[in-house]
Every structure is written in structure tokens, then in C-alpha cells.
Amino acid sequence: MQLFTIFGNPVSHSKSPLMHNISFKALGYSACYTRYQLEDGTQLKKKFLELNFKGANITVPHKEHAFNACDELDEFAHKVGAVNTIVNRGGKLYGYNTDAPGFLRAISEFKDIKTVLFLGAGGTAQSTSIILRDAGYKVDILNRSEKRLERFKKEGFSTYTFDTFSISNQYDLVVNMTSAGLEDNSYPCPVLFLEKMIPKAKACVDVIYGKETPFLKMVKEYNLPSKDGSDMLLYQGIIAFEHFTEGKFNFEEIKEKMQQAFIL
């Protein structure tokens, strides 16, 4: 039986063990998926090999450590510098980033989206902004503070803080990429910005899942097409599962099984 895990700190809240174990069982694949609370990210490779894992997901705060632990990186993971999926092939660790393709797939289900505004400039915004731009979307970044905008500027994105943003800007898709609303009731940017932008948008997404944030609540008041972060979570999991099982199952086949984890 193959063994998989998720490394993170904290990791007790993660839905990944449920998502993967349900799918392994339903697809008749002999494997078990555990969770591993890892304090020191520099120990990731050592623990991975000691415990003989076939594969792992990596969550906050170890995605950069995971990047450094790999012997081989796929092109996109190399480009964004963050790995959330590792597969062991003959003792060599292969690294992938499935968060960003998961997000791209989730937003591709909205029609006629060309321009996108990200509220937030953290690690998730970084990898997803690059994949969206590669896929032909125009992405602008609005963040509460200046510091995290530097790397986006270097990548050539248009970036704004609350002081420099013009509320007459229009976007087809507005995305909450911050943690605002996760453990409090705050909005990701001044409410006035949202009141101007949301009615003109074609759709809105919140990457937070498992609760309705003030941002998503406001979007629903305007009756706009919207999603929370569940599809992103599901889709990154499906893409990781494809790597774990070396392409034995296709996306739709896995989706049918893995989505059961969201109704339990």
C-alpha cells in the first residue's frame, strides 16, 4: 500500500486526507493519506524519505521549503517558486504546484472574463496571477500595504494600494485573495471600492472556503455569479491526485469521487 501525507503547521484543519482517502477507496487504489504537523520546514525531505511516502501535499508555511526539497521541478512550479505537491519516483522527489491550475480551472467556469482584480498580494496571489496571465487574462493587484506589491511590479503587473487605486476601474472578475474574513469579519478593501466595482463585475470569487465572508455576502446581495474557495481546493486536489496515481485516472473520474468529501 502506498502512503501519502500533507505537511503543514497547523495541519489538523486540512480537508486533504478526507478528499484523497475517499477517492483512493472509491477508485480501488491501494493507498492511505495521513497528516503530518511539521514544525521545521528544513526537515521536510528527511521526514518524507524516512517515512517512505509515495507523495505529499504541502500547505502553509512550507511551500517554499518544499520547493527546495525537490530534485526535479515542473516548469510552472519552477517559475513561481512554490511547491504544494511532491511525488517520489525511485527515491527522487518531483515537485508540482497544483494550487494555481486549480484556481484557473475554477474561474474558467465563468464566461466572458478578460480582466481580473486580485484583492491581496500574498503567496496564493503570486502563483495564480502568473497562471492567469499566461492563460491570457489581464490581472491587476490591489493590496492593503505596499511591501508585498514589489514582486508583482517586477513581474510587470499593474499594482495599487488603497491610496493609489481609482474606483472608476472596471473588472470582469473580482477575487478576494486575502485572509480578510477568515477569522474576523473584515473586508479585503474599503467597502466603497466594493460598492463601486461589484455591480459592474460579471463574477466574483473568494478563495476562502468553509464560511461565508463579508465579501461573499456582499457579492450575493448583488445576485452575481460567485464561488467560494471550495472549487479551487477540490481542483488542486484532483490535479495532485492525478500526479500521485501517475495519470491512471482522469480528471472527471476523480472529481466524481473527491467531491463527496465536500458533502460529508
- Contacts with ligand NDP, residue ranges (CB under 6 A): 60, 99, 120-125, 143-145, 148, 177-180, 182, 186, 188, 207-209, 229, 232-233, 236
- Complex with ligand NDP: residue 125 or 238, whichever CB lies closer: 125
Q: How far is the CB of 129 from ligand NDP (least distance, A)?
A: 11
- Complex with ligand NDP: residue 88 or 143, whichever CB lies closer: 143
- Is 63 catalytic? The answer is yes
Cis upstream peptide for 188 (omega within 30°) = no
- Complex with ligand NDP: residue 194 or 208, whichever CB lies closer: 208
- Cα 7 to Cα 255: distance, rounded to the nearest angstrom: 23
**138 beta partners:** 115
Q: How far is the CB of 22 from ligand NDP (least distance, A)?
A: 17
Q: How far is the CB of 171 from ligand NDP (least distance, A)?
A: 17
Instruction: Please give the DSSP secondary-structure letter assigned to residue 170.
Output: -
Quick check: 1 and 28 in contact, CB under 8 A? no
Q: How far is the CB of 252 from ligand NDP (least distance, A)?
A: 20
DSSP 38-84: -S-GGGHHHHHHHTT-SEEEE-TT-HHHHHHH-SEE-HHHHHHT---
Residues 6+ apart with CB under 8 A from 121: 141, 143, 148, 149, 152, 159, 177
Which of 63, 111, 147, 217 is catalytic? The answer is 63
Our CA angle for 106, 122, 207, nearest 5°, is 30
- Cα 29 to Cα 51: distance, rounded to the nearest angstrom: 20
- Complex with ligand NDP: residue 88 or 228, whichever CB lies closer: 228
Q: Which residues are catalytic?
A: 63
